[in-house]
Structures are given as structure tokens and as C-alpha cells.
Structure 1
Amino acid sequence: MAVSARISKSTIQGLLIAAGLGAATIAAWWALYQQQVAMNSLPMDRMWMPPTGTWRWSLTDFGLTASMWLIMMLAMMLPVVAPMTMLIVRIDRGRRAETRINLPTFLLGYFVLWVGFGIIATLLQWQFHGLRWLTPMMDSRSSMVSGSILIMSGLYQFTPWKTACLSHCRAPMGFLLSHGRPGWRGGLRLGLHHGLYCVGCCWAEMLVMFAVGIMNVLWMGLITLAILAERYVPSAGESTRKLIGFGLIAWGCVQWL
């Protein structure tokens, strides 16, 4: 009875964590959708838009842009980190509390890296607006710039860095056995380590948003699906990686032409 009660309790805990991840993902996507609807429906005088000149940006503009990128990172990367999170829950099932990986600090470490990426993306957007490469609605003004971003992102798919980071992300069990340590420090290190590889794997695909429209929710969804496919589709990950690369390069060449 004690064993079955313990198993039942751990199973319920896993379901609650899965439900929490799902709810957070839905909330983030809903927030992005509402932002896009507001941009398309509100009158221009009631709508916040990033200023064109770099010198015109206030702290409020930086804050709103950074918060937009933060929500985007949550929406796109929560589905990506969910399998690793649930694997940690499954491995820790039945372990004593002092030998478990601390899940909250793992997620904290993971998203600290993506918050850093969001800050870099905010600074890039600031410069893009200053160079008038983006419209006030955050769409690309220049087919040459869009084509260059797409070609660069496509070429990165074939680099050794992409292959190494993707190989790491495809083998979560081996990663956990090699780097998993108990306690909050172990969870934080694990999250930072995994987040570093994840950013290294996905940063170029994220930059595609500058070419297709930063607030284009449809393209956010397609990029998220592409990232999930190249990681988790059995026996098709390599072909998916190459297909994404060739597709981005071809699309970029069309933009140039």
C-alpha cells in the first residue's frame, strides 16, 4: 500500500507539472495572439509602436520590446524544453528528496539563457529600426536584408556548431546521466548547460523573425514546429535539419532576386 501510494503521489505530481507547462505555453501563445490582434485592429494613435530613430527610444520602449521578446521565448521554447523537464520528473520518481534534481532551478537556468537572447534581440531590433530596416509594425522593409538573414540562418544549419548542439539536444538521457546533479545548484547548472546548447542550436532560426515580421504569430508557430521536428522526429531529424537549411537558403535567394 505504501509503495502504491508513493507511486500514485509521484504520478499526480508529474501530471501537475505537465499541466503547468501546458497552461504556461497556452498563456504565452494567447498573449502573443492578443498583441497581434491589437496591432491589426487598434487605431494608429492608440497603438504603441517602436520609434524609428535609435535616439528616440525611451526606457519604456526598451521595456515593452524586451517583454515582447520574453513572451515570444516562453511561447516558442516551453514546448522545446518540456520533454527534458518531464524526463527529469520521471528519473526523479522514487528517489529521496536530497538526491533529486531541483526542477525550478533547472527551468530558471534554462530560461536565463533565453532571456539573455531576448535582450540581444531587443538591441538588434533597436538598431534595425534606427537603420529603417523595420517598419513601425515590425515588418521588414528591405528584401536584401530579409534575404541575407534567411541565407545566413540556412547556412548555419550545415555548420559543425549546429550539428554539435543539435546532437546534444537529441540525447537528453545521456545529458542527464552525465551532467545531472542533485540540489538547487545542480539544477541551476543543468539548466544553464542545457540552455546554452539550446540557444546554440536555435538562435539562427529565431532570427528569421526579423525577415518574416517580428509579431507574425503564424511564423512563430512554424519555426517552433521546425525546431521540434529536427529534434524529436524519430529517424528524420537529420533530413529535417538539411531541409530547413536548403529551404531558408532558397527563400533568401528569391528575396534577393
Structure 2
Amino acid sequence: MSAGVAARPAWGRAPLLVAVILLAWGLAIAAELTGEVQWVHHHRLVVDGMAVWASLALFLVAWQVHVAAMMLPTTLPMVSLYRRVAAGQAHPRLARLSFLSGYLAVWTAFGLVALVAMALLEGLSAHWHWLHHRPEWLAGGTLVLAGAFQFSALKARCLDKCRAPRAFLLNHYRQGLAGGLALGVRHGAYCLGCCWALMLVMFAVGIANLAWMAPLAALMLYEKVGRHGQRLVGPVGGALILLGLLVMAGPAWLPNLVPAHGLH
């Protein structure tokens, strides 16, 4: 059975997870509509007027919302299969929780690394006059990087793993809480290998930017579970590279695509 076919009933087999995904999208949309987007838009190591620990906590909450909205839909086929396979364990619910904890831990670690990297780039920009007045080069460079990664062997390998959840479980499934955690971390690592560059784009344009958030989430979902998802990888890579070059060449052509505050 193909990954695309297997994915269709997954939504009905994980109602709680689907509710979490819908809630995350609801929060993102509500923040946009009410003008309170700063609470989920945060991508700085230190927010003005806030202690470091409070700023970091705010980021972690906002990042979990975005991971839930953008990445959890792509892992529903795996969660659905794991739920069925782990049903015979002594503590199946705890095993599923361990699996999801491992998966989220990988994406949380990536978010923290990206946050620190963004802070370092902002610090470099502040001391480099040329770069400080050309933030579009950072945004455009991120888009070019994301586009180039679409053609990488690592992307192809990880995407193959994510599109074959049955084979993945057959090769790596272990019972128990530790087994579920390890499986979640491994699955999260492959998921990260597929999508880290696309998610990095959100740091450049603003992680609560719905104009980017929705199409990127749809793209990552279709790449993994769509019947012809692999055919989309190359054209999207080319489009991102072209878009990144256009942003670097003349950001005034695309005034709403890469907000100026995305990198400040």
C-alpha cells in the first residue's frame, strides 16, 4: 500500500492529535486576526523588556504551536500505525506518549538551535554595517538554502523513510516506554532531515507569518503523504532558489513577501 493511500484514514485514528493540530492552527489564525501576532511571532533570544528565561519560555511555547500546526499533520500516518502496533503493549497510551515526546524533542532542539543561530546572525548584522542595511540578503539566502536542499541526497533519503511508515516500524519498532521514545526520536530525526530547511524559512519571514506558514505546511504534508509528492520536490526547490535570488536582487519588488521585521 502506498504512503498516500495509507495516510487517508490516519486522521480518523488519532482524534486527540487532530484536535491539537486544529487548536494550533486556530491559535495562529486568531493571533493574526486579533493583532496579537507578537505572542506567536517571537523568534529572538531576548525580547525587549523580558528576562532571558521568560523570553526563552515564550519562544518554546510559540514554537510548539507551530510544530503542532505544521509538522504533526505530516506524522499522522506514522502515529496511526504505531497506535495499532503498540496496542498489545502493557501500557499502550504511555508508549504513544513516549513516541510523541521523542518526536517533539527533536523539533524542539532544532528550534532552539535555529533561535541561537538567528541571534548570532542578528549580532553579526549589528556590527557589520553592510549586512545591517541589507537584511534581504539573509532572507534571500535562507530561501536559496532551502531551495538547494530540496535537491540533496539527504532530503531524498529522509523523505523515502517518511513516506514508508510501515517499513520504518518493521525495522525499528521496540516495545516499552524507552522503545517508544527511541522510535520517536528516530522518526523525528528523519522528519527533521526532510523539512529543516523549509522550517528555517519561517525564522527568516517570521514564524507566525500565515502567508508562508500555510503553503509550507501544505507542501511538507504533500511531499510526505501525497501520491505524487516526490515529483514536487525539484520544482519547489527551483522556485525557492529563484525567489531567494529575486529577494536579494530587489526586495522592493516583493514588499509583502519577506517583511523587514523578519530579520530584526
**Does 2:65 match 1:71?**
yes
1:241 to 204, 223, 233: 233
- Name which of 14, 20, 36 aligns with 1:18: 14
**Could you list the per-position Cα deviations for residues 81-130 of structure 1 after superposition, in whole angstroms to 9, with x for gaps in the alignment?**
1111011223345xx33496921111111111011112112223333444
- Secondary structure of 1:214's match? coil
Q: Where in structure 1 do 4 or more consecutive aligned residues deviate above 6 Å? A: 48-57
Q: Per-residue deviation at 1:53?
A: 8.1
- Tell me the secondary structure at the aligned position of residue 208 of structure 1: helix
2:185 partner SS: helix
Alpha-carbon RMSD: 3.2
User: Contact conserved, 1:151 with 1:248, CA < 8 A, in 2?
Assistant: yes
Offset of residue 191 of structure 1: 0.5
CA apart distance, 1:240: 0.7
**2:111 paired with 1:118:** yes
Code of the aligned partner of 2:66: M
C-alpha distance after superposition, 1:218-256 (max 9, x if no partner): 31111111111111111x222111111111011111112
The one-letter code of the counterpart of 1:194 is H
The match for 2:27 among 28, 31, 38 is 31
1:2-35 CA distances to partner (integer Å, 9 max, x unpaired)?
A: xxxxxxxxxxxx9886210111011111222233
Answer yes or no: is 1:87 the counterpart of 2:62.
Answer: no
CA deviation profile, 1:169-191 (whole Å, cap 9, x unmatched) = 11110000010111111111110
Q: What is the rounded CA distance, in whole Å, between the counterparts of 2:90 and 2:46 in structure 1?
A: 53
Percent pairwise identity: 34
Is the 1:70–1:118 contact (alpha carbons within 8 Å) kept by the matching residues of 2?
A: no
**1:140-197 deviation per Cα after TM superposition (whole angstroms, max 9, x unaligned):** 9722211111111100111111111111111110000010111111111110110111
**Which amino acid in structure 1 is aligned with residue 25 of structure 2?**
W
Q: What are the residue-to-residue correspondences of 1:43-192 with 2, within 5 Å?
A: 58-59=51-52, 60-92=54-86, 96-98=88-90, 102-131=95-124, 142-192=135-185
TM-score for the superposition, normalised by structure 1? 0.78
Contact residue 108 and residue 188 of structure 1 kept, 8 A: yes
CA contact (8 A) 1:50 1:61 kept: no
- Aligned counterpart, 2:243: 251
Q: Which amino acid aligns with 2:63?
A: W
Alignment CA distance shift 1:141-1:70 (3 Å): farther
TM-score w.r.t. length of structure 2? 0.76
Q: How far apart, in 2, do the equivalents of 1:50 and 1:27 lie?
A: 21
Distance in 1 between residues matched to 2:139 and 2:110, nearest whole Å: 20
Match of 2:199 among 206, 211, 219: 206
For structure 1, list consecutive stretches of 5 or more residues without a partner in the other structure: 1-13, 43-47, 134-139
Structure 1 partner of 2:7: none
Quickly say closer, same or farther: Cα 1:66–1:97, change in 2 above 3 A: closer
Q: Which moved more, 1:17-26 or 1:97-106?
A: 97-106
Unaligned runs of 5+ in 2: 1-9, 127-132, 250-264
State whether residues 52 and 132 of structure 1, in contact with CA within 8 Å, keep that contact through their aligned partners in structure 2.
no
Q: Is the 8 A contact 1:100 1:182 kept in 2?
A: no
CA contact (8 A) 1:53 1:129 kept: no
Greater CA deviation, 190-199 or 81-90?
A: 81-90
Q: How far apart in 1 are the matches of 2:45 and 2:107?
A: 26
